[in-house]
Structure 1
């Protein structure tokens, strides 16, 4: 084995040595050890130190208060009181020069320096169901063959992929505090009376009914703990509580509270503070309060149409819920209504598990990513005092303040378990290796399961099989809670019909070069395609005819449903441009633009407005290409359709 020589230069006055002769010995105190000298490590370290010193000159030093720096730098004997200091063995005193280059959210935040990000590999179908993009035989529309297919049908170059990629990248942003925030400002909250007023409005809002991330009594204790901090460095529990209150303040305006509104800048600052504190605290301790903070920040990013960042926080929440044991079921210790404080915390943790589980099914089915919470590893036992998805529709405006704990969730738990089954049977890694017969058998099985679920819904809320295009528009302000929940179930039903039956376009993937499919298989494919197309048309019809009810639905949900239906209709236009339904499909795509444009309101956030603009550009490109395909087919320039639908 030959020794390494730095930069290929021979050393003067030193004979070549064998590797076995080189040892970690120091000839004299002024020289490096023999091994380091042989590998020229001292030179390499010197180069790295020079490069680091040069890079620091490009950035201003972080501003750290001297008193805070001293407290962080000097070991304290008061570690037992729970303050934010290391509980490990005392470390040597950090010199002042070291503290000047130490960045910690517990001291101060200098925000003139923008954070550095590593490039993220973008999936062109991020945030969009994989099934939408198969046009035939499992070939993705956004692939080389897919672009060739679109060009052969339309005679035009497509910018669909660029628009989708831009839409995905635009929301990968980080919250940055807009000002240089000192240590005291980082922990600052509004007056306690203001927070309590906003909290009261929060618990009476529809958001808390649909997404019970906070418990009235537990959050009251969180407020008390947060305002117990006066000066200096907060304790662990105080820091968690301040972050949780800040996260609640970041979304309070989206709930239309009766209290004092916060400016957009204030909301963003509180969200940034919560993320800043949370980023440091999660390395120390995971608890119920920090889990609530993560879920609140997830909703903040959803409200701002930052779905990718919300998905990352969702993954964090799922890991936290398992670390805390929320994925296991613990039956009540006694039959009485009154519960102890510890039991209330356990019950609320279980509520947060169900919120994470429900959200996980949506993220999984919409993005194609693997699930994080599955039936194999989670106890899905329904709690005995669960009020039920439909029973809770009575008296939803009441706030529970007694010690009696009620479980109630936004999503239908049966529907969530069906979503998990759909993803496992159709979108898992094993499912992509199924034969055509096995795939069709699973599609039929899931279709029967979906119909069984639909029939299990009470008649006043049961989703309709289809929505007529000229459905009457309900009067403004005449909707009820039943209407809102019914609208959610209707849209979810059509979503699952599309997700199940569009996978039939994977049939024939084993023989991509065989133009002709068996007649019976071709008939099955057309039958499933017809069902998915009817569900797509019904989705747009329902979105168009129910603007008042939809105002109570989540912004990201409406955008998703509109995109889902639009792409399904567009693929059918490409497959059958000469069909008389193609012109009708173009009209439906135009309605989809009107729907998303109608989501813009005076209270819309910048993220929502940007997402509306991106969605409209995307659908307008589908309209352009679809119209070109129809025009080309009508001119008789299109070749005979050699790609089965």
Structure 2
């Protein structure tokens, strides 16, 4: 991390001061053969709080979190084999009396303590998406890397994250113990499931059916739970494998067929009772909706398509209304958007064709939005005080479901707005100005994606207090992606009228992530949410540097206009 105070030379030149080892000269002084000194006297108005002060304060907070994290990691690695059981309940869990606390100590299975290594899962493209362009340049490409560096006038430290290379994580040495693998007792499993049903996570991820679980936990639910766990920990590659297995398994069970079976039914699909069929169909819709999220975000082909799946009952609100974490009709629009904007043929569109497709999808999205009940209808602009307006007669559990439906609908709508409209930045050539009429259309679409990003951050700031640690998945799913349109707009227009406000919104990620209670979160989830905060704060640093580069007269005020 850069020092809190730049040396005299770097301060005078207004460049980044990089010191690899304390006591050594910085990179710039060392390369120029200069003496690296810190002799200047800093006089600053204590009542004046600049953007630089905010960034430095947030950087200090990140350092404090890093120190606390390192201490926690040290304590966890010093635990002996006879330490707490992997099935034991954390002391802070509010269900104090449980069968878990009465179990004997069990040593970790499968990997010996001496060889156990901590896997590192870095923030990668599945978190922020791949649809980021400026005048035909892919922002996550090598040219995009250089474009960011030129615009900010700084070294780009985004290589600390996997968004450019997206390599597979290295596998540490693993030794298998001769001790037989022991499954947890049934009482422990039942207790953990009961905690799940009572948590807000069960509303966000409705994978289990209480009536069906009493018999057995089948493989289909296992893959769903595994996928959700990996997704929450930022393990995108592992989550993709688990999700693909879950999709295939749901189709093997006939979930891609509607509840009203056709006269001739495939022979390989088993027969179930009505409750089980409804549950499998619900799991199919969960797969279908999240599949469209990933396809639109990453440009990868969808696993489930309307060509091979019957989605005719998406309109049946009596079956799916409020029972799913995503809206089925909106998912169908996202499938259409993925086919039109993210398929290989999308790279052959002319600029006029691309803008026409974006307008067509925007019309479909607006038609869907107006069809939603007025009480839940999503909006593009969200104020800082999100009002739910729920009936007082609802139970606490029903109120939570209603809030979850409302928030998910709002975030999903904003997510779709961003992924449709941000692609207009493909238009143009880096060396030429866009025609005035085309520039106006591109600017209008980009403004929609930027406003959607602002609204996502305002929502995240409020739901953390509502969902507490269960907000982790929502923040990790939306925050990195929502940060990109704001960052790109600031980089293009560092001194624009909205730049300061957008920089403040980006900086709010530190406050949002700090509000997530961590006492009951596993270390992988704490590290993941910390890395998201660090990623967004790196975007803040680059945005701040771009503004200073403009003020020094070292670049144009607006990168989308070439002055000849």
- Please, what TM-score do these two structures have when normalized by structure 2? 0.69
Give the match for residue 91 of structure 1: none
Please list, as runs of the form range in 1=range in 2, the aligned pairs for 1:416-427 lying within 5 A after superposition.
416-427=331-342
Give the match for residue 607 of structure 1: 524
Q: State the 1:305 CA deviation.
A: 3.4
Structure 2 gaps of 5+ residues are 1-108, 264-270, 390-395
Give the match for residue 328 of structure 1: 257
Q: State the 1:123 CA deviation.
A: 11
Q: State whether structure 2 residue 460 is matched by structure 1 residue 460.
A: no
Q: State whether structure 2 residue 528 is matched by structure 1 residue 623.
A: no
Q: State whether structure 2 residue 168 is matched by structure 1 residue 189.
A: no
Instruction: Give the secondary-structure state (helix, strand or coil) at the position aligned to 1:322.
Output: helix
1:483 and 1:549 in contact (8 A); partners too: no
Give the match for residue 244 of structure 2: 315
Give the match for residue 292 of structure 2: 361
Instruction: Give the secondary-structure state (helix, strand or coil) at the position aligned to 1:527.
Output: helix
Q: Which has the larger radius of gyration?
A: 1
Q: State the 1:353 CA deviation.
A: 1.6
Please list, as runs of the form range in 1=range in 2, the aligned pairs for 1:249-268 lying within 5 A after superposition.
none
Once residues 232 and 316 of structure 2 are traced to their aligned partners in structure 1, the CA distance between those partners, rounded to angstroms, is: 31
Once residues 158 and 128 of structure 2 are traced to their aligned partners in structure 1, the CA distance between those partners, rounded to angstroms, is: 13
Please, which of 147, 152, 155 is the counterpart of residue 145 of structure 2? 147
Please, which of 405, 419, 423 is the counterpart of residue 503 of structure 1? 423
1:142 and 1:161 in contact (8 A); partners too: no
Q: State whether structure 2 residue 455 is matched by structure 1 residue 535.
A: no
CA distance 1:174–1:343, shift in 2 (3 Å): farther
CA distance 1:631–1:609, shift in 2 (3 Å): same
Q: State the 1:384 CA deviation.
A: 9.8
Instruction: Give the secondary-structure state (helix, strand or coil) at the position aligned to 1:601.
Output: coil
CA distance 1:597–1:344, shift in 2 (3 Å): same
1:487 and 1:550 in contact (8 A); partners too: no
CA RMSD, aligned part only?
Answer: 3.7
Once residues 590 and 110 of structure 1 are traced to their aligned partners in structure 2, the CA distance between those partners, rounded to angstroms, is: 40
1:590 and 1:623 in contact (8 A); partners too: yes
CA distance 1:383–1:497, shift in 2 (3 Å): closer
Once residues 551 and 357 of structure 1 are traced to their aligned partners in structure 2, the CA distance between those partners, rounded to angstroms, is: 27
Give the match for residue 129 of structure 2: 129
Please list, as runs of the form range in 1=range in 2, the aligned pairs for 1:82-101 lying within 5 A after superposition.
none
Q: State whether structure 2 residue 213 is matched by structure 1 residue 293.
A: no
Give the match for residue 551 of structure 2: 634
Q: State the 1:218 CA deviation.
A: 3.2
Which structure has more RCO (C-alpha within 8 Å, separation ≥ 6)?
2
Please list, as runs of the form range in 1=range in 2, the aligned pairs for 1:34-183 lying within 5 A after superposition.
125-131=125-131, 133-134=132-133, 136-165=134-163, 180=177, 182-183=179-180
Once residues 197 and 418 of structure 1 are traced to their aligned partners in structure 2, the CA distance between those partners, rounded to angstroms, is: 40
2:247 and 2:303 in contact (8 A); partners too: yes
Give the match for residue 207 of structure 2: 213
Q: State the 1:290 CA deviation.
A: 1.9
Q: State whether structure 2 residue 341 is matched by structure 1 residue 346.
A: no
CA distance 1:481–1:296, shift in 2 (3 Å): closer
Q: State the 1:636 CA deviation.
A: 2.1
2:128 and 2:484 in contact (8 A); partners too: no
Once residues 387 and 213 of structure 2 are traced to their aligned partners in structure 1, the CA distance between those partners, rounded to angstroms, is: 43
Once residues 314 and 494 of structure 2 are traced to their aligned partners in structure 1, the CA distance between those partners, rounded to angstroms, is: 52
CA distance 1:163–1:209, shift in 2 (3 Å): closer
1:311 and 1:363 in contact (8 A); partners too: no
1:497 and 1:531 in contact (8 A); partners too: yes
2:453 and 2:482 in contact (8 A); partners too: yes
Once residues 235 and 228 of structure 2 are traced to their aligned partners in structure 1, the CA distance between those partners, rounded to angstroms, is: 10
Once residues 251 and 188 of structure 2 are traced to their aligned partners in structure 1, the CA distance between those partners, rounded to angstroms, is: 34
Structure 1 gaps of 5+ residues are 1-107, 223-243, 245-288, 335-339, 393-407
Describe the superposition over 1:434-483 as per-residue Cα deviations: whole angstroms up to 9, x where unpaired. Answer: 11111111111111111122112212211123023577899xx9974323
CA distance 1:175–1:351, shift in 2 (3 Å): farther
Once residues 536 and 490 of structure 2 are traced to their aligned partners in structure 1, the CA distance between those partners, rounded to angstroms, is: 13
Once residues 196 and 300 of structure 1 are traced to their aligned partners in structure 2, the CA distance between those partners, rounded to angstroms, is: 18
1:461 and 1:486 in contact (8 A); partners too: yes
Q: State the 1:486 CA deviation.
A: 1.4
CA distance 1:528–1:368, shift in 2 (3 Å): same
1:468 and 1:541 in contact (8 A); partners too: yes
Once residues 181 and 438 of structure 1 are traced to their aligned partners in structure 2, the CA distance between those partners, rounded to angstroms, is: 63
1:440 and 1:504 in contact (8 A); partners too: yes
Q: State the 1:302 CA deviation.
A: 2.7
Please, which of 361, 365, 369 is the counterpart of residue 446 of structure 1? 361
Describe the superposition over 1:212-239 as per-residue Cα deviations: whole angstroms up to 9, x where unpaired. Answer: 43333432222xxxxxxxxxxxxxxxxx
Give the match for residue 27 of structure 1: none
Once residues 329 and 483 of structure 1 are traced to their aligned partners in structure 2, the CA distance between those partners, rounded to angstroms, is: 28
CA distance 1:198–1:114, shift in 2 (3 Å): closer
Once residues 484 and 110 of structure 1 are traced to their aligned partners in structure 2, the CA distance between those partners, rounded to angstroms, is: 39
Q: State the 1:507 CA deviation.
A: 1.1
Once residues 160 and 169 of structure 1 are traced to their aligned partners in structure 2, the CA distance between those partners, rounded to angstroms, is: 14
